């Protein structure tokens, strides 16, 4: 899939993984909508990409109605949707018996509810692109802690496991129309959200962006349900 008259929407795009993915998609020629909560930071990200084909849509996806409004803004600007990358998310560190209900709700709202609220109205547009080109893609940035549970991030890992289940089920529903869902599960990535972890074993965000490039290069006959990105050495959190 190349970017000839194709459009992508990327959440969490003001920094880290989302910005790295958006940069890769811009290089492939995609029209883009960048979504993040902070209006100033997402405007800087848009300007960094330096293309008039990139639109910034500031939104807090944890709020009711925000996901639908973002999709409408994207379609009004670009008219189609071929690729959706959900990178927005939050993970709060703490023992399972110490996290509050408010902390749990925040992680569920952004990691799970926002994903479903964004994908649900996007499906008809993705299916249209799938029928036209043979393949449309939804890539969800999950996490290895959704595969291999770890202490200290149990609620976060639960939401990431839910993302994997969502991708698996949604693909079975939508594959007949050319829409593929892939969960990308990296180890700890060197992003602002992981600044709490002092470690030499973090992955660069560009590694995650390269997995999206790979998914777009494969043919419509090829489906990759999940990609796991492990660190090459031991991860020591100080």
Distance separating alpha carbons of residues 78 and 211, to the nearest angstrom: 24
Beta bridge partner(s), residue 179 = 136
Q: For residue 169, give the H/E element and its range.
A: helix 154-174
Question: 140 near 183, Cβ under 8 Å?
Answer: yes
Residue 179 lies in a domain: yes
Residue 2 lies in a domain: no
Residue 77 lies in a domain: yes
Token pair 């939508």 is found at 174
Q: How many domains is the chain partitioned into structurally?
A: 1
Distance separating alpha carbons of residues 195 and 56, to the nearest angstrom: 25
Residue 234 lies in a domain: no
Question: 68 near 123, Cβ under 8 Å?
Answer: no
Residue 1 lies in a domain: no
- 230: tokens are 């492990």
- pLDDT tens digits in sequence order for the chain, 238 residues long: 655 689 999 999 999 999 999 999 999 999 999 999 999 999 999 999 987 799 999 999 999 999 999 999 999 999 999 999 999 999 888 898 899 999 999 999 999 999 999 999 999 999 999 999 999 999 999 999 999 988 989 999 999 999 999 999 999 999 999 999 999 999 988 766 655 555 566 899 999 999 999 999 999 999 999 999 998 876 544 3
Nearest residue to 115 (alpha-carbon basis) of 67, 156, 174, 64: 67
3-state DSSP call for residue 10?
Answer: strand
pTM (predicted TM-score): 0.92
3-state DSSP call for residue 98?
Answer: coil
Nearest residue to 160 (alpha-carbon basis) of 233, 228, 58: 228
Q: What is the CATH number of the domain that holds 132?
A: 3.40.50.720
Residue 221 lies in a domain: yes
Residues 6+ apart with CB under 8 A from 225: 167, 168, 171, 181, 182, 183
Residue 118 lies in a domain: yes
Question: 86 near 118, Cβ under 8 Å?
Answer: yes
Residue 237 lies in a domain: no
Distance separating alpha carbons of residues 186 and 205, to the nearest angstrom: 10
Distance separating alpha carbons of residues 56 and 54, to the nearest angstrom: 7
Range of the domain at 225: 7-229
Other C-beta atoms lying within 10 Å of the C-beta of residue 76: 10
């Amino acid at each position: 899939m190349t970017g000839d008259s194709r459009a992508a929407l990327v959440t969490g795009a003001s920094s880290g993984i989302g910005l790295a993915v958006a940069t890769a998609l811009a290089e492939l020629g995609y029209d883009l909508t960048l979504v993040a909560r902070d209006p100033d930071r997402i405007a800087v990200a848009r300007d960094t990409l330096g293309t008039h084909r990139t639109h910034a849509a500031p939104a807090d996806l944890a709020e009711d109605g925000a996901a639908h409004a973002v999709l409408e803004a994207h379609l009004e600007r670009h008219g189609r949707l071929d690729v959706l990358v959900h990178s927005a998310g939050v993970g709060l560190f703490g023992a399972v018996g110490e996290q509050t209900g408010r902390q749990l709700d925040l992680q569920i709202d952004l990691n799970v509810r926002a994903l479903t609220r964004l994908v649900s109205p996007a499906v008809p547009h993705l299916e249209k692109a799938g029928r036209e080109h043979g393949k449309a893609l939804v890539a969800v940035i999950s996490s290895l802690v959704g595969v291999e549970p770890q202490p200290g991030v149990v609620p976060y890992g639960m939401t990431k496991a839910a993302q994997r289940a969502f991708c698996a089920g949604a693909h079975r529903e939508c594959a007949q129309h050319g829409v593929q869902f892939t969960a990308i599960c990296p180890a700890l990535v060197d992003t602002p959200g992981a600044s709490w972890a002092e470690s030499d074993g973090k992955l660069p965000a560009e590694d995650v962006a390269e997995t999206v490039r790979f998914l777009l290069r494969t043919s419509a006959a090829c489906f990759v349900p999940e990609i796991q990105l492990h660190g090459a050495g031991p991860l020591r959190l100080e």
